Amino acid sequence: MRAYGARLSARLRPGDLVVLSGPLGAGKTTLVQGIAEGLKVRGPITSPTFVIARVHPSLCQGPPLVHVDAYRLGGDLEVDDLDLDASLEESVTVVEWGEGLVEGLSEDRLEIHIDRETGDDARVVTLRGVGARWSGDSV
C-alpha cells in the first residue's frame, strides 16, 4: 500500500480531495504514508484518529498534505468545524473514513476503497474518479 501511495502521489496536485474507505486494518494510513513520501512532506505520518486532522508541510515547494481521520466525526457539522475547505485549494487533502461525510467539499474527488483478501496480505483497491478533474483520467 505504501508503494502504491507513492506512485499515486505523482498524479495528485493542489486542490485534490482523496476519500479513503475500507475496513479497519485495510491499509488506509499506510496508503497515506506512501502518498506523503511521494509528495515529500514532513512526517511522521500516523493515523490522526484522536487529533482528527494534521497538516504536513512540503519539504520541496510542493503542496502540503492535509491528512484527516473522520472515523470519530458525527456528521456534516463536525466536518464543517474542521474548516477543511479553507486549505483545500492549495493542499492535497486525504480523508480516511470520509465516505458520506466530505463529498460536499469538492465537486471533484478521487474515491479509493481498500479491501483485504481473506487470510492474505493482498489488498483489492478500487478507484473512482468523480468530477471533471478525474474524467478520462486513468489513475
Q: What is the pLDDT along the chain (139 residues), one digit of tens a residue?
A: 999 999 999 999 999 999 999 999 899 999 999 999 999 999 888 887 667 788 899 999 999 999 988 887 776 666 666 667 777 889 999 999 989 888 888 999 999 999 988 767 889 999 999 999 998 765 6
Q: Which residues, at least 6 apart from 20, have a Cβ–Cβ distance to it below 8 Å?
A: 28, 31, 32, 94, 95, 96, 97, 98, 112, 113, 114
Q: Provide the phi-psi class of 97: left if phi over 0, else alpha when psi is between -120 and 50, else beta.
A: left
Cα-based distances in Å from 88 to 2, 17, 38, 94: 23, 8, 19, 10
Contact of 110 with 16, CB cutoff 8 Å: yes
Quote the DSSP letter at residue 6: H
Q: Provide the phi-psi class of 114: left if phi over 0, else alpha when psi is between -120 and 50, else beta.
A: beta
For 72-86, the pLDDT digits (tens) are: 777 666 666 666 777
Global pTM value: 0.90
Q: Which amino acid type is present at position 50?
A: F
pLDDT of residue 41: 96
Q: Which helix (H) or strand (E) holds 77?
A: helix 76-82
pLDDT of residue 66: 93
For 101-114, the pLDDT digits (tens) are: 888 889 999 999 99
**Distance between CA 72 and CA 41 in Å, rounded?**
25
Cell readout for 120 is: 492474505
Which domains does the chain carry? 1-130 (3.40.50.300)
* Nearest alpha carbon to residue 28 among 87, 89, 114: 114
